[in-house]
Amino acid sequence: MKDRDSLEASKIFNEYAEYYVSRERENPNRKKLFKVLKKILKNTNGKKVLDVGCGGGTTSRWLAKNGATVIGSDISDKMIEIARINCIDTDANFFVSDMEDMGLPDNEFDVVLANFSIMYKKNLDDILKELTRVLKGRGELVIVVPHPVRKMVKYTGDYFKDGKHWEKLGKMKIFGYYRTVEDYVSSIMKSGFAIKE
């Protein structure tokens, strides 16, 4: 059963899916992200990758074109429809799921990527618990979030004011849970991960 955040995110991204995907495609930082992923993951060929919060499948497509076996999940039915179309010429598979309970087997993935997705959920520890569960023992968890300092100061004027905040993203009104760098590091370390970069 979806919680309130999941229901809100699903509604927003179902309504604005095409708009959001078009913004993502035009975003000049997309190529920078792929460059960073290539540096962090080195070789994705033959790796099984879970793309959590895959949106329209832009990153899933890039991973699949670089040899990964990709499974993408998203809370939005419409985003999954777009991802399937976007990746029709790949072997990537997609399903609708809440990131706190994906219903996937334990120890399944070499890499779990959460690209601009975990900030839509309140309980970071529960998300990390689920991502840890589906990740193989020596697997890699890659988390991409908006920089906490920029976001908190820009929208709240206070770096330490965490919690749920709403903002405009073009014509969309979207929410996110802002956390400090320390919040992320603490939760990640508590989940048993080592931070590489």
Q: Is residue 155 part of a domain?
A: no
Report pLDDT for 136: 96
Domain count across the chain: 1
Band (pLDDT 50/70/90 cuts) for residue 104 is very high
Q: Is residue 14 part of a domain?
A: yes
CATH label of the domain that carries residue 26:
3.40.50.150
Q: Is residue 23 part of a domain?
A: yes
Q: Is residue 157 part of a domain?
A: no
What's the rounded Cα separation, in Å, for the pair 37 and 60?
12
Q: Is residue 123 part of a domain?
A: yes
Tens of pLDDT, residue by residue over 107-160, are: 999 999 999 999 899 899 999 999 999 999 989 999 998 776 655 455 555 556
Q: Is residue 197 part of a domain?
A: no
Report pLDDT for 1: 54
Q: Can you tell me the mean pLDDT for 44-67? A: 96
What is the residue type of 2? K
What's the rounded Cα separation, in Å, for the pair 185 and 4?
26
Strand runs labelled E in 13-162: 48-52, 69-74, 93-96, 109-115, 135-144
Q: Can you tell me the mean pLDDT for 90-99? A: 97
pTM of the shown model:
0.90
Which of the two residues, 149 and 192, has the higher pLDDT score? Answer: 192
Q: Is residue 183 part of a domain?
A: no
Burial 96-128 (b: 16+ CB within 10 A, else e): ebbbbebeeeeebbbbbbbbbbbbbbeebeebb
**Boundaries of domain holding 127:** 4-146
Q: Is residue 167 part of a domain?
A: no
Find out whether 142 and 111 touch, Cβ atoms under 8 Å: yes
Structure-token pair, residue 113? 């990527």
Band (pLDDT 50/70/90 cuts) for residue 45 is very high
